[in-house]
Amino acid sequence: MKKFILLCVSILFLATIASGCSSGSTDSSEKEKVKQENKALKSKQKELEETNKKLKEKVENSEKHSNNNEKSSQNDTQEKTYKPGTTDRIPVELAGTVDGDTAKFIYNGSQQSFRFLLIDTPETKHPRLGKQPFGQEASDRTKELLTNANKIEVEFDVGGQTDKYQRYLAYIYVDGKMLNEILVREGLAKVAYVYPPNTRYLDQLESAQEKAKEEKLGIWSLGSAFEDNQASTQQPTTEQPSSSNTQSSNGAGSATTQTPNNTSQNAGSEYYPNCTALRKVYPNGVPSTHPAYNAKLDRDKDNFACEAN
């Protein structure tokens, strides 16, 4: 009986030991599994961190490249702004219109006045000339074209970029078309203020003017309207010159210098019928002490005839 009891106790003892070993083995296996899972998670987390780092670097490089391109573009625009003698067209924004041949644009970050090169429109509120025929039509047309344009650009010529009033002198483009030429072609402006070397599109504008004349458009439709408009810049050639006309040239072009028998006492010894003829010999105009000075060509009565406007 004792032996049987001892045998049972031994069997129970061995069973307990076996159960403990089995449980220990299971716990060890689970711990190893958890350990492997944690290791895999850490590896995955590290991969994600590396990916995020690369994405961040890519975004930063992209922004840096974009900023560099923007700065480069701004530098290019600034270079174009100050680059004389090219055909570069510089984008501007409309700030307002003044009359038919003058407008204000946002240029170089500030509002600036621009006078349209090589043309003149009838006056609308001149202190001496008052309101001229087709002056309002020219002003309205300029406002219409500039206001409705999707893109406005300015182009400088090879000479001086500003006049004595500190207005910029330029060719103006509305959606790729030259506004100066549109006004001339429609008979709302005439070719004027021709000061070499700012004559890049003189032939083009004169051709447009001839067509407007032929079709009697705008200022060319009525002789009186045209003559009134001309009076501010040109002396009507109604006087008969004497037979002793002389020719003179200074290399910038030639013009006939006339000495009429009945010249005005305000005219010098050299006679020019208008500013266009005078400027071919004296591109910058002449003071009152000059032999070619004529008070009738001094439109603003500042003792300087046919100066840049």
Q: Active-site positions?
A: 115, 123, 167
Residue type, 131: K
Kindly tell me the sign of the dihedral angle through the C-alpha atoms of 267, 269, 274, 279: negative
CA-CA distance, 263 to 272, in Å (whole number)?
11
What 104-110 contacts at long range (C-beta under 8 Å, 24+ apart), as own/partner pairs, is: 105/152, 105/154, 107/81, 107/154, 107/168, 108/78, 108/81
> Residue 240 has what DSSP assignment?
P
Phi, psi of 234 (to 5 degrees): -135, 145
End-to-end C-alpha distance for the chain, whole angstroms: 139
CA-CA distance, 232 to 173, in Å (whole number)?
27
